[in-house]
A and B are shown apart, each in its own frame.
Chain A
Amino acid sequence: KQEVTQIPAALSVPEGENLVLNCSFTDSAIYNLQWFRQDPGKGLTSLLLIQSSQREQTSGRLNASLDKSSGRSTLYIAASQPGDSATYLCAVGPNTGGFKTIFGAGTRLFVKA
């Protein structure tokens, strides 16, 4: 049974700091891994999608890496801004048995001005 864990659960950093959010999963047989951002009470915004054959994806100040063999992904945010404050979720798409995407509980990020 796939389990996804995100560490830390919450993070508070000063503006301008570079930071890393971690996501680990127990079953390496994945189809893809997707990082999302969620503002309070809102839906999810897709940030980056990494296919199982890829090692990393980049979009602006965001970089996500994937190491399937160790069951880990990281989301790197460069030069953090107060507008980056949100909850960041990672989601793993399985390789078999339909698209039962499994989410982590998220990392709540607060960037102080």
Chain B
Amino acid sequence: ETGVTQSPTHLIKTRGQQVTLRCSSQSGHNTVSWYQQALGQGPQFIFQYYREEENGRGNFPPRFSGLQFPNYSSELNVNALELDDSALYLCASSLVGVGNEQFFGPGTRLTVL
């Protein structure tokens, strides 16, 4: 059974640029959630994708967008990067209807200069 993977591991961007982060779900899972974790804080829910559609969104502006593909992998896109977007971005996969236990990937560390 393959766990959740994320790429890249680290990323450095400058303010105003755009970034795409990628996530591959754990085998058999059909739902992907994305979280932003600032240093010293708990993860903040960005949004969730189920059956290739957004299925819930946290308090994040529209410049945070996502996609889920037929193989249940997912992308998080952030436009017009701001300094405050610097954080660890975490992806979690789960299987709807089976307890919704979430399994997390290792994260992508984004630094915006």
Contact = CB atoms under 8 A, between A and B. Distances in A.
Interface of A: 4, 31-32, 34, 36, 41-46, 49, 51, 89, 91, 93, 97-106
Size class of B's contact patch?
20 to 34
B28 to A, nearest CB: 15
A49 B42 contact: no
23 contacts: A4-B42, A31-B100, A34-B101, A42-B107, A43-B6, A43-B106, A43-B107, A44-B43, A44-B90, A44-B92, A45-B104, A46-B101, A89-B43, A98-B48, A98-B56, A99-B31, A100-B57, A100-B58, A101-B33, A101-B45, A101-B102, A103-B35, A105-B42
A9 to B, nearest CB: 9
Interface string B70-113: 00000000000000000010101010000111111111010000
Nearest to B107: A43
Nearest to B58: A100
Per DSSP, chain B at the interface is: strand
Contacts of A45: 104
B55 A32 contact: no
Nearest to A101: B45
B2 interface: no
Nearest to B31: A99
Contacts of B45: 100-103
A41 B56 CA distance: 26
A105 B101 CA distance: 19
Task: Find the residue from B57, B94, B101, B102 having the highest chain A CB count within 10 A.
Answer: B102
A103 B100 contact: no
Contacts of A99: 31, 33, 48, 55-56, 94, 100
A41 B6 CA distance: 14
